[in-house]
Structure 1
């Protein structure tokens, strides 16, 4: 079957509308993952052996299994184990956010040694509480240092939202499959979906570069 570029163009309006679902899911999942990753980093900094051991086990599971399986576990496994059935979109956001939380925590933990210990000692000498030191001294610097890696994690999250088509979330990939099935031309609509993911991630990367330059100027 000959490639039809006009069919790509005609598919774009519906696919671009559906891509807003991907974008919404990605934003929510990233925000939750950032909160979760920060919380995990704080808990790990307490050096409570049982908690750190549990986090290490969960991290091994997250690293060692495909995110698609993790999505299935939330969507199908949670109702079987607890009776709690989440809507497809909520289940997808939960799975992606949990997955990314552990990776963000690892990013933060790897960058913590780069923070000048003298600042923490000085803050402690001034009588600041650990909570204030984390909020006012450590975390602002940490987020600046890891901003490029957070942008990269954001692009991973955006691409991961395409997997939610398998649990019936009507997003860009699923809509492109529906369009392709209607006329038995799957390639062109999928190409339209690929273009939408590329545009979103290019915009995200460009925004990240602008943020990095701003941080660089402020750090002079």
Structure 2
């Protein structure tokens, strides 16, 4: 079977339409994961032993198990305790919980690299803790860790392909359906790969724009 560019071209509009599902899910997941990671970072700094132990156990579970298993647990196990989520919502929950762990570790490392004198100076001025975090620490922290956070977003984009196994109709599942109907899996899979490449290329371009904007603000 020879590769047919004409057939690939003919199925690209369908795949690109399905690609929007991946892009939408990845955007939602990334925002939720960043918010959760920020909250986890702030909580861990409080150094509450019991809470930090629980967080450490959660982190160990996430880092020690495959993402696909985590998706299955959320989608198939939660209904047993009367939490019945739709495939998309289950996928968002599973991947966001997975991604927030790696983002939180990135933020923790970035926080440790910051000058502690800023916190001491802010505290001596009697600034409220929420102001210190919102106005001083978090803006710097996000700028410092932006490249690594963006790298995690690209993993989120690729992770959305796993949602095809819980019946989310995204670009990979669409390509599989096309391959089954046409008996041309090569072109279908290549088309799906191009779609993921396009999403991550857009993410990287936007990240470079953010980096440039951040540098211009500092100058």
TM-score, normalised with respect to structure 2: 0.98
User: What is the rounded CA distance, in whole Å, between the counterparts of 1:51 and 1:148 in structure 2?
Assistant: 29
Report the counterpart of residue 166 of structure 1 in structure 2. 165
183-192 or 23-32: which moved more? 183-192
Unaligned runs of 5+ in 2: none
User: What is the rounded CA distance, in whole Å, between the counterparts of 1:110 and 1:117 in structure 2?
Assistant: 13
Report the counterpart of residue 96 of structure 1 in structure 2. 95
- How much has 1:36 moved relative to structure 2? 0.4
Report the counterpart of residue 10 of structure 1 in structure 2. 10
Cα deviations across residues 137-194 of structure 1 (Å, max 9, x unaligned)? Answer: 1111101101111111110000000000000000000000001100111111111110
- How much has 1:119 moved relative to structure 2? 1.4
User: What is the rounded CA distance, in whole Å, between the counterparts of 1:18 and 1:176 in structure 2?
Assistant: 9
Secondary structure of residue in 2 paired with 1:40: helix
User: What are the equivalent positions in structure 2 for 1:169-180 lying under 5 Å apart?
Assistant: 169-180=168-179
206-215 or 147-156: which moved more? 206-215
User: What is the rounded CA distance, in whole Å, between the counterparts of 1:32 and 1:142 in structure 2?
Assistant: 17
User: What is the rounded CA distance, in whole Å, between the counterparts of 2:11 and 2:175 in structure 1?
Assistant: 7
User: What is the rounded CA distance, in whole Å, between the counterparts of 1:137 and 1:158 in structure 2?
Assistant: 30
Report the counterpart of residue 38 of structure 1 in structure 2. 38
Secondary structure of residue in 1 paired with 2:16: helix
TM-score, normalised with respect to structure 1: 0.97
| RMSD between superposed Cα atoms in Å | 0.9
Report the counterpart of residue 148 of structure 2 in structure 1. 149
Report the counterpart of residue 210 of structure 1 in structure 2. 209
User: What is the rounded CA distance, in whole Å, between the counterparts of 2:113 and 2:182 in structure 1?
Assistant: 56
User: What is the rounded CA distance, in whole Å, between the counterparts of 1:98 and 1:196 in structure 2?
Assistant: 25
User: What is the rounded CA distance, in whole Å, between the counterparts of 1:124 and 1:58 in structure 2?
Assistant: 31
- How much has 1:27 moved relative to structure 2? 0.4
After the TM superposition, list the runs of 4 or more consecutive aligned residues in structure 1 that deviate by more than 3 angstroms: none
- How much has 1:211 moved relative to structure 2? 1.2
Secondary structure of residue in 1 paired with 2:169: coil
Task: Work out whether 1:62 is the aligned partner of 2:62.
Answer: yes
Query: Between Structure 1 and Structure 2, how many residues are aligned?
Result: 219
Unaligned runs of 5+ in 1: none
